[in-house]
Amino acid sequence: MKETTRETATDEYFLSYENLEIHELMLGDEARTGAYRDAILQNEALFRDRTVMDIGCGTGILSLFCAKAGAKRVFAVEASNVANLAEEIVSENDFGEIIEVFHGKVEDFKLPEGVEGVDIIVSEWMGFYLVHESMLESYLFARDNFLKKDGLMFPDTASIYTAPCQLPQMFEVWEEFSGVRMASFGQRLRAQKSIKPEIMQLHPSQLLHSGELLAWIDLKTVTREDVDDISETFLMLAQDYGNFQGVCIWFECTFPSVGDNLPITLSTSPRAEATHWKQTVIVLPDTSILTVEPNEAMAYELSIKRNPSSARGYTLQLDQIDADEVDHPIPCDCILTKCIVLKTHLKRLEGGEAEIEVDEENGESDNEEVSPSK
């Protein structure tokens, strides 16, 4: 058996990007391409006369946006042979004097003589659930080795979110399919899909909760080790009736802005414009499914950990937790008896305190001692 080393896995990763259908998919993703275009072109003041580095430039479209925004010089770095195509596209757009395409890994890049650093780094490095494929490492390498102290990163922050969800396309649809019951097929299909994460586009109505933050990442300061293990325990209350059948994961990235311009955010949420990343969904085994009602608590621990046996891979782990065994906020709006009782008790206490405060404003209080009449 051929051993897969970090080097061979990286080479295979870059080779996969020589398939132009992948670039067609990314270029046609208007939410993705539009976010970068707007973040760059609406903030021309940040790019004018600046030196820019584009990591993993692909066809060079981000480099072209930077040149259009007035960049003085752009280093477009691409490890795959698509670099040759990028050079053609740069020439086609008459930006050959501004954009220099470097065919190689950013880890092998050397700044030209006389260039002490770059003012801005741009890159579309994100993978499924943000960190899949580990392209973030190259982005951080460029930051640590080429970015000036006061330099900018596009994007400069990233967030990962999660929410419980229902998956009727994997459950109800097989109860009766074209007039035939296919429940046994659906059960085996779900068992197969629960082994690894699914990449799929959810409708907002499939979310049982608006979602909570798994991780917020400051790309100007984060280290590789910071994203080796991203884990959190969640307690969320169902916002409607439904079936807790899976856990949805998505991400957002935000770009710097200048003046009155609002920061541009690229979101892969089910509530945002669809992207080629879609959402990452962990399908629950049939034995773990819960039917929930509004304000019913759902609890789980979600971990995204770097896989030591896979150079560019992460392992996603989901552990469901009995909602009664985790700490609840005080007060809590869930329907557990203990939370209802505690919330009612607190309301009574607050009501009593409010009544005392009102009485004190009128010069009277239940706490005041009554002097005997003379």
* Residues designated as active site: 124, 133
Closest by Cα among 152, 187, 188 to 172: 187
Residue whose C-alpha is closest to residue 269's, from 204, 217, 206, 321: 204
> Residue 245 to residues 99, 321, 324: CA-CA distances in angstroms?
49, 14, 19
Q: By C-alpha distance, which of 174, 234, 183, 180 is closest to 210?
A: 234
Pick from 262, 261, 268, 325: nearest CA to 299: 325
DSSP per-residue letters across 166-231: --GGGTGGGTSBTTB--HHHHHHHHHHHTSS-EEEPPPGGGBSS--EEEEEEETTT--TGGGSEEE
Query: HSE of 48 in the Cβ direction (CA atoms, 13 Å)?
Result: 5
